[in-house]
Structure 1
Amino acid sequence: MNSILHEARILVADDQNDVARTLSEPLRLRGASVVHVTDGAQALKEVRRGGYDLALLDMKMPPGDWGGLWLMQELNDAGWRLPVVVLSGEGGKRQTVQAMRLGAVDWVDKGDAFSELEERCSLVLKQSQEGALAALAATGPSLLAHAFGRYQVTGDPYQQASEGMRAVEETLRFAALVGLASQSPEQAGPLRGVTREQLARPSFGTWNAVLSSLSQAADPGSAFATLSNAIAPDKSTKKFLHGVIKMRNDIAHGGRETTDKERSELDRFLRACAHRIYAGWPWRVEVTRSMSFDGDSFTVETLRFSGLGRPQRSAFMARMPPKTGSVVLVGSNGFATTLNPWFENDGEVILCFDVVEQVRRDSTDSKVRVLFSDPMNRRRGIDVGRDGSTWEKMATWVRSSGG
């Protein structure tokens, strides 16, 4: 079975539904999960849900006469990088050329699609996934870029597997914290299957449980839902993640080494995950620095944390901006959400919530402090100070137990 197409998630948009289903049947027979929609607006909604590896688009469909071109323009404007293969019908050559200029990576004539689509889609996916680790390390959120970058450059296969499992854990933690920060205290909880005690000292499995719990109630198309679907778009991927957690625990506590099969499966997952995040999650992690008001809206000056280098200056427009020094998600339409108190700004580093620690001052007094980590530099146990995040603020999100 084709390892690239097997379990790939492919979106097909064509108003000739029966024709599209027939043409894409070879992909399904190779193990791909194929979702069909009949116009560009439905396709855009599906892309925003996240978790797709590739899109096949007919140019001549609603909305308007050339809904495929409309969709590609929408994707470009919003920063999506999902690979697109054009299904070209008779009379649509000029539109096909326009689609290629808008970023389509290939085109297939409908008359040849039944025989050619499998090979062409396989090639596009192979090329996309081969470059995914480097692409995410170059332009993805720095908190993920460093983890995937370390995996990519590690030569020893056993050490690389260790870095790969660490990259999976960092990805789950990043997504879980984005999900927690995306909920207001009024909307929060309970987190099914996660207690406050577990969240206070989170493990690899805790992050996965938080992600799973939040995903069940996430708004489709939100920054968190799209990220969650990019990481674990289906049941087989969720099952694989449970296997990685068990493997990590067995290695940590049992001293065994990874097998060739385990390393191969881990590598395939990391490349697919990196591809879906790079191609299908167009939000940016930034820290606000200053702002100015023009009488109608605010211009917010920021530092953008992307790739492996130093943060770069950026800006966005907002009606109601976050306070200076906040860690924020920014999308194509500007400010999306504030990530505090789960992420904190420490100068030129973004810190992630790590653990809660009891600090006893004397025999009668004690306090609880929140410790953070810097996944970019691998520093752990960083205290952001009394004025930063507190466990009382964070525990508001978890109401499933009284601990």
Structure 2
Amino acid sequence: MTQVGELVLARVWHAQWLADRLRTTDGRPLRVVYRGVWTHGAGPDFTGALLDLDGTLVRGDVEVHVRAAGWYEHGHHRDPAYNGVVLHAVLDPDPGRPARRQDGVVVATLALRPYLLGPIEQFNPGPALRPLGAIGFAHCAPAVAATRPDALVRVWEAAGDERLAGKVASISQALSTAPPAQVLYARLLDALGYSRNREGMGAVAARLPYDHLEARLVGRSPRERWERAAGLLLGVGGFLPLSPREAALADIDPATAVAIERQWQRLGGPWHDARLPPTVWTLARQRPAAHPLRRLLALAVLLARLDAGLVGDLTDMCLDPDPHRALRRWLTDTNPYLGASHAHEIIVNVVVPFLLAYGDQTGDDRLSAAAADLWDRLPAGAGNALVRKTVEQICGPHRVPVRSARAEQGLLHLQRTGCAPMRCYECPVAHLALAEEG
């Protein structure tokens, strides 16, 4: 018998090469409304699935194994990242214990072999099937992409404006209860945390308020300001003292490590009992460049070279004749911890919405106009897997370039508000496709 691997089973689930009537191993009827999106092995295999389990709609993740025992062999029962799993799909059942999540919930199990459309050796994931990782089962608007790509781009950019408006509203609300510098500082930390370490970065912002940090930097040389900022940020983050491995990861020599730790000992007394525990940070499968240690050091570099304060410097750069260039230089010049791609994401997701909200709050029409003009002119970034998947889902084989940050953000907005919750009937792309057919 041919050896079957988990990638084959993932393709079977992705294609739904299964009978219509399914039952879990404990006898409950199961209908797959949406099989979810393959995650490339980062956490549960499929995320965002929608299942009708014994008459109840259940949304969550699906984990696939050849053997049911793989759940425990891979340690998923100890990993909180798998607490969203609602179905364990296995090739063959196991009479042993059922899959139990870290939070104690028992996961329904589906044995796939009895429901396959043929012997698994006959399964052929050929060109007729969508590629593994595709969002949907059929493309949304390939005809529009082929004949009216400009219409699709307008829809994407309008959706990007909606996404921006939501961010501006959120920041405006935050500005009503906190000083502008604290709001901006917290948003920068949030962006530096990406999705995997936002909780930890949020905790740093809350435990080490910006005004307390700034007060310990004023009047110092740029080098001492960096050491002080690094000491306080890393200390509160729970990274001090640095291990040799962490120092190497941060490209910090022994003398610099000693200087940073000395600043934490001198200045960090009020926060020594507020240090974050290591469990806050998600470090598994984390790229070295995205390690929260390096992200905190990136912020320390920015804080070390402020002239007019965090908000003052940002508004000055927005009013520069070339604000995009000025902001890119502020974020990346002499900052080994922040690359151009992530800097662009910070400009799009933090800087522009903050400046729009702050300009509105202060009644600074010049600042608001400059921020709006910056938004209109921002090019697309390097893109990410979700943007590429959404374009593929909409356009199919037809290439429609994503050239602006507005369009890029719009694609993310459409995926979050339309694709993920399966609200196709509300999606403007679907309306455009229907109008094309009519």
What TM-score, normalized to structure 1?
A: 0.29
Return the index of the structure with the highest Cα Rg.
Answer: 2
Structure 1 or 2: more helix by fraction: 2
What TM-score, normalized to structure 2?
A: 0.28
Structure 1 or 2: more strand by fraction: 1
